[in-house]
Amino acid sequence: MKIISVVGARPNFMKIAPIIKAVKKKKNLTNILVHTGQHYDKKMSKLFFDELDIPKPDINMEVGSDTHAQQTAKIMMGFEKILIDHKPDLVLVVGDVNSTMACAITAAKLNIPVGHIEAGLRSFDRTMPEEINRLVTDSISDFLFTTSIDADQNLKKEGVPAKKIFLVGNVMIDTLLANTRQAKNSRIMNRLGLKERDFALVTLHRPSNVDEKNDLKNIIEIFLQLQKHTKVVFPIHPRTHRKMEEFGLLKKTKDFPRLIFTEPLGYLDFLNLMMHCRMVFTDSGGIQEETSVLRIPCLTLRENTERPITVTYGTNVLVGLDKKRILREAERILRGQGKKGREIPLWDGQAARRIADILSELKLK
């Protein structure tokens, strides 16, 4: 079976790395890796390929950044030609970015089967572009690989036949568990002058949090208040940095040395910080998962999550943008009363192996 697997944005890289390794072990599977180039910044792309030992993409489309519609259109136009030239038996897409949906649609229109890894996740918030990508991709996929039982339930409610659904676990956690030892060798804590459990870690990039001046100002004020009690480390996403400059918020943070801004970090440096921090503030889905496995308290600055298992099983608390609630939860964590979490079924580092086993047994028409 000839597979084309697709990556496009930073979260995809962590998900595809273990799959490539697992597929390589199957004699009846071959894989062509296509990078759409949706993320093109070195910190957001090349560094991750290097650190996670992902082979150089066989094809790099280099579509770059654009509006959702234009970027999706560019990916579809370029990917159609790749499919016609290479004639794969299956297209494998991961996650919920524009590349995921665009490549799934293109393959489906050419009657090429689609496998979606991380299928069935739902926030039930259609203002999120990722939710639209998830719904569309799942509706046209032939093989839906899920991370948790709630994802299976979502798909069945939407009318997906049970025979198309495969509960395999979480490939993001495969990558996490495979890299914790190497991440311990990072010198990032020394470079930033940090001590273990003596800082909070922040990651923030969603338009709903950073595009409105009042919301972003409110979030920054929360961190200025928090830094009185613990250092706050904020690897700043390019989008967030642009908005902070635009709104004049960067100037306001200059006199607060315990609020530490850094450039976007590589996977291993960020993982090292996540493993050793007191708590994480995020609006990222993947980080909700990673903190739950690491048993690090996580405060998610959103009203909803497509990963509810991180709340029911994990260490995640949804706090929205309510300043009082966020600070109250942070104070609880500082007192040692944060959520401890428990083991999440099948998040054991073997999801990619299960996927490769299923792929190698598939009988495609």
- Between CA 92 and CA 107 the distance in angstroms is 10
Asked if residue 104 lies in contact with residue 134, where contact means CB atoms within 8 angstroms, the answer is: no
Only one residue has tokens 């493993």, namely 275
C-alpha closest to that of 47 among 271, 205, 213: 271
C-alpha closest to that of 4 among 78, 153, 95, 107: 107
pLDDT digits (tens, 9 = 90+) for 169-194: 999 999 999 999 999 999 999 999 99
In order of their start, the domains of the chain are 2-169+350-361 (3.40.50.2000), 180-334 (3.40.50.2000)
Asked if the model's pLDDT at residue 9 lies above 90, the reply is no
Provide φ and ψ at 229, rounded to 5°: -110, -25
Higher pLDDT, 10 or 39: 10
C-alpha closest to that of 270 among 189, 206, 334: 189
Query: Residue 115, class by beta-carbon neighbours within 10 Å (0-12 exposed, 13-18 middle, 19+ buried)?
Result: buried
Cα–Cα distance list, 226 to 188, 222, 223, 268, 327 (Å): 22, 6, 5, 26, 7
Band of the pLDDT at 45, cuts 50, 70, 90?
low
- Between CA 315 and CA 54 the distance in angstroms is 29
Residues with a catalytic annotation lie at 205
The tokens of 119 are what? 């299928």
The model's pTM? 0.94
Beta-bridge mates of residue 3: 31, 90
Provide the residue type at 107 as one letter: A
C-alpha closest to that of 295 among 333, 344, 341, 337: 341
The region of weakest confidence among 84-98, 251-265, 325-339 is 251-265
pLDDT digits (tens, 9 = 90+) for 184-231: 999 999 999 999 999 999 999 888 888 899 999 999 999 999 999 999
pLDDT digits (tens, 9 = 90+) for 20-42: 999 999 999 999 999 998 765 65
What's the average model confidence in pLDDT over 260-273?
94
Q: C-alpha 282: how far from its chain's center?
A: 11
CA dihedral 172, 121, 143, 162 (to 10 degrees): 130
Average pLDDT, the chain: 94
Asked if residue 77 lies in contact with residue 42, where contact means CB atoms within 8 angstroms, the answer is: no
Contacts of 152 (CB under 8 A, 6+ apart): 120, 146, 165, 167
pLDDT of residue 44: 56
